[in-house]
Amino acid sequence: MAYKDMTVLIVDDFVTMRRIVRKILRDLDFENIIEAEDGLAALEVLKTTKVDLVVSDWNMPRMTGLELLKEVRGSDKLKDMPFLMVTAEAQKENIVEAVKAKVSNYIVKPFTAATLEEKLAKIVPR
């Protein structure tokens, strides 16, 4: 599927960060971009909307990215969802936990459109 036909869900509690990720995704020709402010809000979106890719931050109030990932993988409907975790250099080690929980891939902040594209190529069939 071409990026422009895919629906991406950005999950981050920081509005500015969501806008940055949105900009970078736009650069890669993504057009359908939805935002959620934490894991719980993301689950609500996933319940009602068909999403093709989740780009989620790790540390959020109410429900973290890891908890969201586990919910997604535990759901029959969503378990194959491409799920990209955004992490900080200092918290990179935690990614092993996310890998165990079947994260599709991860990306370290700050990242560029090129790095993101590289990661997406690994997890989203085009």
Partner 1 sequence: METLFDRLVNGVIDGPDDLGGIGECLNILDELESQNGSAKPVQKKIEKVRLIFKRLILEESSDPDKDWRMVRDLLSSLQDPPGEEEEASSQTGAVDSGGGQQSLGEDDEEDFFASAVVDSGEDGGQSEPVASKGGSGQWDGESGELQDPELLKDFIEEAKEHLSTIEMNMLGLETNPSDTEAINAVFRPFHSIKGVAGFLNLFEIHELSHEVENLLDGARAGKLAVTDSMIDIVLVATDILKGLLEELERGGSGRREASPAVKGFLEKVKSFGRDPVVDAGIPMRRPVGEILVERGILDDKTVPEIAQKSKSGGKKFGEAVIDEGIASPREVSKALREQRHNIETAQSVRIDTRKLDNLVDMVGELVIAQSMVLQNPEIEKAKDQKLQKDCGQLNRITAEIQRITMSMRMVPIKNTFQKMIRLVRDLSKKSGKETQLLMNGEDTEIDRNMVEEIYEPLVHMIRNSVDHGIESPAQRVAAGKNPTGTIIISAEQKGGNIAIDIEDDGRGLDAKRIREKALERGIITEEDSLDDRAVLDLIFHPGFSTNDKVTEVSGRGVGMDVVKKCIERLRGKIEIANRFGQGASFQMKLPLTMAIIDGMIVRIGAERYIVPTIALKESLKVSREAYFTVQGKGELVKVRDSIMPLIRLHNYFREEPLHRDPWEGLLLVVIEGQNSYCLLADEIVGRQEVVIKSLGSLFEQLPGISGGAILGDGKIALIIDVKGIISLYEENSK
Residues lying near partner 1 in the complex (CB under 8 A): 12-17, 19-20, 23, 27, 57, 59-61, 88-93, 95-96, 99-106, 108-115, 122
Q: What is the rounded distance in angstroms from the CA atom of residue 96 to the CA atom of residue 125?
A: 24
CB of 62 to partner 1, least distance (A): 11
Nearer to partner 1, 17 or 34 (CB): 17
CB of 100 to partner 1, least distance (A): 5
Q: What is the rounded distance in angstroms from the CA atom of residue 89 to the CA atom of residue 79?
A: 27
The per-residue b/e assignment along 12-34, b for 16 or more CB within 10 angstroms, e otherwise, is bbeeeebebbbebbeeeebebbb
CB of 61 to partner 1, least distance (A): 7
The C-alpha R_g of the chain, in whole angstroms, comes to 13
Nearer to partner 1, 13 or 32 (CB): 13
